Amino acid sequence: MCILLIVFFGFALAGRYEPVELSRTVSSVIQVEIKGGVNTPGVYELKRGTSLEEAIQAAGGTSEDADLSAIALTTPIEHDELIVIPTRNEQTARLVSINTATSEELQTLSGIGPAMAQRIIDYRQAQPFQTLEEIKNVKGIGEKMFEKIKEHICL
């Protein structure tokens, strides 16, 4: 009797369980937001695998002040990516780090020449700057000089 029940349940359960595939389907369309130095900023639906150059073209191309010098146009873009195309105005408004800038970068600041840049570098090698105001401890940088450069420097 037990053997009969085992055989019965064996045949009853056979074929009930089928393997299930758990792979996810991936959409062939992605959404990206593009802004900055493009003619028509906004959210765009593009094909998966689209390059950055194709996304820029979808946004009407680059504006006159776009700066593509630091951008790899062949980079594939991902779903929900935010793309900001820099402009020349943003590039020139970059801050100079008083803790890491080279002598040449420091010399881009108003009133800082080669000798003053070297004093800043010497000071930070002995002790890194903790606040922007600490730059006034460098010989030759007073309150007036600090007021001229404070908007253009960072730590």
Amino acid 15: pLDDT:
60
| pTM across the whole model | 0.46
Best mean pLDDT range from 4-13, 66-75, 125-134: 125-134
Looking up residue 135, the CATH number of its domain turns out to be 1.10.150.320
Burial label, 127 (beta-carbon count in 10 A; 0-12, 13-18, 19+): exposed
**CATH number for position 44:** 3.10.20.600
In a domain, 23, yes or no: no
Q: Do residues 85 and 119 both lie within one domain?
A: no
Which one has a higher pLDDT value, 115 or 8? 115
Whether 86 maps to a domain, the answer reads yes
- 142 or 15: whose pLDDT is higher? 142
Of the candidates 72, 91, 110, which is a domain's last residue?
91
In whole angstroms, give the CA distance from residue 142 to residue 152. 16
Residue 24 lies in a domain: no
CA atoms within 13 A on the CB side of 148: 9
> Rounded to the nearest 5°, which phi and psi values hold at 82?
-105, 120
Domain co-membership, 56 together with 102: no
101 shares its domain with 136: yes
Amino acid in position 129:
F
Q: Which domain holds residue 55?
A: 29-91
Residue 71 sits in the same domain as residue 58: yes
Give the residue, 15 or 145, on which the prediction is more confident: 145
Residue 24 makes CB contacts below 8 A (sequence gap 6+) with none
Q: Residue 71: its pLDDT value, please?
A: 81
Q: Are 109 and 97 in contact (CB under 8 A)?
A: no
Contact 105, 126 (CB under 8 A): no
Kindly tell me if the per-residue pLDDT of 22 is higher than 80: no
Residues 66 and 81 in one domain: yes
Number of domains the chain is built from: 2
The full DSSP string for 69-125 is TT--TTPBP-TTEEEEE-BHHHHHTPPEETTT--HHHHTTSTT--HHHHHHHHHHHH
Domain shared by 111 and 138, yes or no: yes
Asked if residues 94 and 79 have their Cβ atoms less than 8 Å apart, the reply is no
Query: Is 63 among the domain residues?
Result: yes
Examine residue 6 and state whether it is found in any structural domain, yes or no. no
Report if residue 18 sits inside a domain. no
* Digit-coded pLDDT (tens) for 79-125: 888 888 888 765 445 788 898 889 888 988 888 889 999 999 999 99
